[in-house]
A and B are shown apart, each in its own frame.
Chain A
Amino acid sequence: DAGVIQSPRHEVTEMGQEVTLRCKPISGHDYLFWYRQTMMRGLELLIYFNNNVPIDDSGMPEDRFSAKMPNASFSTLKIQPSEPRDSAVYFCASRGTGTNTEAFFGQGTRLTVV
């Protein structure tokens, strides 16, 4: 398996533009997580899905952020409109069902909003 795949790896956009980050989880995994990593706040969970259904989005910072999982092999995190303080590395992770499984992380998308 190729692991969790995120695209793009790097994104530079202007303030006010819409940004869409993409994630393909590991096949067969039914949990998907979106994390954000910043120097100030470290790694924070934004939202997670189970079987394509959002379970907990309490970490989503504002209404400008939205996430979808239209099917088991694809998820998006959208920021509209983007702001400079959204600059961070966004990680997607997935894990399988079971009590003794762990999350596998993608390589992240480094977002810079100028």
Chain B
Amino acid sequence: AQSVTQPDIHITVSEGASLELRCNYSYGATPYLFWYVQSPGQGLQLLLKYFSGDTLVQGIKGFEAEFKRSQSSFNLRKPSVHWSDAAEYFCAVGPQYGNKLVFGAGTILRVKS
């Protein structure tokens, strides 16, 4: 069965520090991978996606993620966090075409000044 694990429920980082959010997936076929961000009371906004090709993908707001097939991971990174990055982040996996996405439980990011 397909599943996504985000091991960290909460993460707190200082403003300006680097960030890495972990995501591990279980999927029987070639995965399509996504990171979404959700601010309080808002819908989900796509940060980046991986379909194929270069395993390091760049997204919006200075985020990037690296697909590592051998580790079944798709970790999200940002070199310098801003206070406005405080939100909840969701990793998701799905089949080709991105239908029937399975989401992780989410990681809440807190940024301290």
The chain A residues found within 8 Å of chain B, CB to CB, are 4, 31, 33, 42-43, 45, 48, 55-56, 91, 93, 95, 98-108
Set of chain B residues within 8 Å of A107, measured between Cβ atoms: 41-43
Interface residue SS majority, chain A: strand
Interface string of B38-59 (1 = CB under 8 A from A): 0001111110010100000000
Is chain B's binding surface mostly helix, strand, loop or mixed? mixed
Cβ–Cβ contact A31 & B43, under 8 A: no
**Count the B residues whose beta carbon is within 8 Å of the partner chain — how many?**
23
Residue of B nearest to A56 (CB): B100
| Cβ–Cβ contact B104 & A105, under 8 A | no
Residues of B at under 8 Å CB distance from A? 34, 36, 41-46, 49, 51, 90, 92, 96-106
Residues of B within 8 A of A48 (CB): 99-100
Q: Contact between A102 and B45 (Cβ–Cβ < 8 Å)?
A: no
B92 → chain A closest CB, angstroms: 8
15 contacts between A and B (CB under 8 A): A4-B43, A33-B99, A48-B100, A93-B44, A99-B96, A99-B97, A100-B51, A103-B46, A103-B98, A105-B36, A105-B43, A105-B44, A106-B43, A107-B42, A108-B43
